[in-house]
């Protein structure tokens, strides 16, 4: 099925899911959540003294915010895929407005609490947004598969970052942002599921491409590889988390690709390749957990970076 047909056929489902989203999404205000009383002026030339914090948690805050800052390019990609009319266009604009609120509250929180060097943060934002690096899914089905995984991964990363913070305000902010990301995930999960029902073979092929080539949107962030390693070491997001909380829930429980009937030859082969990939990931994840248990909670673990390397 071509993209225009897919979008037209999915439009009724998109409208229902949009209505569901608007019915459960909660209005909230960034200024209510930021601990403004902790703020003070920044003096030009004065070195900012950062509070004691695990560097992996600091990296997660840095990456989380710069990911949200790249919103103009994500909007551009999603509007290119879905268009600006009807329920699709309304969803894209609503999603953009909610994601923009995330960058506001995280930046205000970091500025007030000085958890991250504001100069490094601004320089990183300028480099990230000037570069505009984003995934470019080839088809609508690819985009839906990627976005379902990406929104779930973002929810997990934000939630785990919040749990790693020692202050209540930071925890509540990341918890609130993660709750929004969960609603975004549910929209994309369910619309991708409908796409799988309408065009099972084409959607299976798209899912395989996105699972094997998956990258978090932060790949355009300066020094992302080192940040990703630190984030993994802190237990916020690593290969084990990616396998157990992203791939297993979607591939095995939600989409149940091995149970699909009527697939063409290429799609059937794609399911077999995905099963082999999942089996390899399961073994790697188990070895990582065993090594972590042997070495203790502070054992260094591989970062998100090697996920794609296992696809070969």
Q: What is the pLDDT of residue 305?
A: 40
Give the pLDDT band of residue 235 (cuts 50, 70, 90). very high
Q: What is the mean pLDDT of residues 236-258?
A: 95
Closest CA to 303 of 248, 235, 249: 235
DSSP 88: H
Whether pLDDT at 22 is above 90: yes
CB proximity list for 184: less than 8 A, separation 6 or greater = 95, 98, 99, 151, 155
pLDDT in tens, 210-226: 999 888 767 789 899 99
Q: Which pair of structure tokens corresponds to residue 189?
A: 């999960």
Whether pLDDT at 276 is above 80: yes
CA atoms within 13 A on the CB side of 79: 15
Give the pLDDT band of residue 296 (cuts 50, 70, 90). low
Give the pLDDT band of residue 126 (cuts 50, 70, 90). very high
User: For the chain, what is the largest distance between any 2 Cα atoms, rounded to a whole number of angstroms?
Assistant: 66
The percentage of the chain sitting over the pLDDT mark of 70, rounded to a whole number, equals: 94
Q: Which pair of structure tokens corresponds to residue 109?
A: 């929180």
DSSP 246: I
163 with 57: CB under 8 angstroms? Answer: no
Q: What is the pLDDT of residue 183?
A: 98
CB proximity list for 120: less than 8 A, separation 6 or greater = 62
Give the pLDDT band of residue 133 (cuts 50, 70, 90). confident
Q: What is the mean pLDDT of residues 298-309?
A: 43
pLDDT in tens, 152-190: 999 999 999 999 999 999 999 999 999 999 999 999 999
Q: Which CATH class is domain 18-38+52-311?
A: mainly alpha
225 with 303: CB under 8 angstroms? Answer: yes
Q: How many CB atoms lie within 10 A of CB 149?
A: 24
Higher pLDDT, 154 or 307: 154
Q: What is the mean pLDDT of residues 1-30?
A: 96
pLDDT in tens, 61-105: 999 999 999 999 999 999 999 999 999 999 999 999 999 999 999
DSSP 252: I
32 with 94: CB under 8 angstroms? Answer: no
* Nearest-5° Cα angle at 104, 187 to 223: 85
Mean pLDDT of the chain: 91
Closest CA to 130 of 227, 224, 221, 64: 221
> For the range 9-14, what are the long-range contacts, defined as Cβ-Cβ under 8 Å and sequence gap of 24 or more?
9/198, 10/140, 10/191, 10/194, 10/195, 10/198, 11/86, 11/87, 11/88, 13/190, 13/191, 13/194, 14/86, 14/87, 14/88, 14/91, 14/191
């Amino acid at each position: 099925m071509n993209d225009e047909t897919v979008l037209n056929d999915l439009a009724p489902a998109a409208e229902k899911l949009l209505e569901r989203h608007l019915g459960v999404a909660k209005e909230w205000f960034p200024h209510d959540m930021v601990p403004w009383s902790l703020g003070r002026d920044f003096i030009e030339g004065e070195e900012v003294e950062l509070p004691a914090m695990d560097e992996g948690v600091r990296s997660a805050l840095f990456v989380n915010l710069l990911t949200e800052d790249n919103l103009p390019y994500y909007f551009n990609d999603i509007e290119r895929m879905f268009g600006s009319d009807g329920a699709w266009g309304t969803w894209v604009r609503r999603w953009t407005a909610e994601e923009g609120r995330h960058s506001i509250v995280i930046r205000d929180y970091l500025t007030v609490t000085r958890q991250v060097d504001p100069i490094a943060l601004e320089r990183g934002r300028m480099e990230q947004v000037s570069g505009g690096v984003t995934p470019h899914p080839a088809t609508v089905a690819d985009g839906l598969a990627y976005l379902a995984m990406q929104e779930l991964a973002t929810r997990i990363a934000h939630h785990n970052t919040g749990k790693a913070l020692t202050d209540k305000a930071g925890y509540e902010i990341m918890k609130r942002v993660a709750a929004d990301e969960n609603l975004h995930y549910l929209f994309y999960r369910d619309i991708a599921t409908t796409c799988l029902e309408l065009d099972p073979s084409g959607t299976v092929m798209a899912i395989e491409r996105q699972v094997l080539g998956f990258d978090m949107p932060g790949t355009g962030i300066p020094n992302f590889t080192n940040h990703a390693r630190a984030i993994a070491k802190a237990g916020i997001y690593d290969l084990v988390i990616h396998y157990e909380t992203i791939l297993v829930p979607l591939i095995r429980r939600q989409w149940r690709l091995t149970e699909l009937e009527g697939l063409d030859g290429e799609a059937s082969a794609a399911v077999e390749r995905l099963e082999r990939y999942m089996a390899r990931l399961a073994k790697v994840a188990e070895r990582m957990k065993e090594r972590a248990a042997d070495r203790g909670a502070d054992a260094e673990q591989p970062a998100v970076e090697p996920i794609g390397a296992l696809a070969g």
